[in-house]
Structure formats: C-alpha cells, structure tokens
Amino acid sequence: MFTGIVECKGRVVEFKSLDNTESGGSGASLTIADAKDILGDCHLGDSIAINGTCLTVTEFSSDEFKVGLAPETLSRTNLGQLQPGDHVNLERALAAGHRFGGHFVQGHIDTTAEIVEITPDANSIWYKLRVADKKLMPYIIPKGFIALDGTSLTVCDVNDDDQ
C-alpha cells in the first residue's frame, strides 16, 4: 500500500527487456538512480512504487535499485518505454503504525491515461484525462481518487461522453 504522495524523483539508468542476471530473473528489469532518500531502510524484496506501480526491489545500493517488470506490468504501464535519463516518481510502501497523508493506493495499475488539458484554477490545477481502457469509466467517480504517475488525485468530475 502507498499514499500517492511522491517522496522523491529518481532517474532511469537502464531498462532491459531481457535481464539474465540473478536479480533480473530472466525477464525485464528497470534500474533507478538518485534514490538515496528512500533507500536508507531498504531490504531485498521491499516494495517501491515507480510512477505509482508497485514493484519489488531485487538489487540495491546506497543510491540505486533494480526491480523486475512482469509482462502484465509492461502491458498496463509505460514503464517499458522509459529511457535512460527519464525522471520517475518514487514512493516507499506504507509502514504499519505510522501516520500517512493522501489515499490508500495499491500500486496495481489498471490502465494508462493521456493528459488532454491542464487548467490552472486559483490555488489548484484541473487535469482532464482520457483513459486508455474505456471499460474502467464506471469505476471512476466524483470524490473518488486515481493516481497519475504515482500522485494521488481527487476526481472532481467525470464526463462519460468525453472519455
């Protein structure tokens, strides 16, 4: 579980579509740097959200970590399209017994969305999104929430005609 409040931004070092190392598991992997702020208490097997996607740490140092990417993850996210140097949002999993802000975000991704409009409104910003999988629209409701690249956002309006 996550809060949808980004702790820091990391930088993509490498995406491998086939990583035959022990920590790569003979599948796809992603290595992230500039993550020192969230790795101080890291252990192998911990969950870290990269752009909101819950992933398992398979290798780490003081500043970098690697995660495996399952075929399902690659099919439902844009993580396989990331390039070295791209920045990503990072968040550690919730710790039991601690306060948290935000929402309960699982990190299990259903679809991607395209930002079609950004409108400043006093001290807030409205994002108009178009979800890739229209079958999910009945589950997006006003005053509910969604996560966009790991940032939890409250849904203010849903227009099924303008998906």
Give catalytic residue positions: 2, 47, 54, 56, 70, 108, 154
Whether residue 57 contacts residue 71, with contact meaning beta carbons closer than 8 Å, is answered with: no
Euclidean distance between CA atoms 95 and 2, whole angstroms = 9
- Host H or E run for residue 102: none
Euclidean distance between CA atoms 58 and 34, whole angstroms = 17
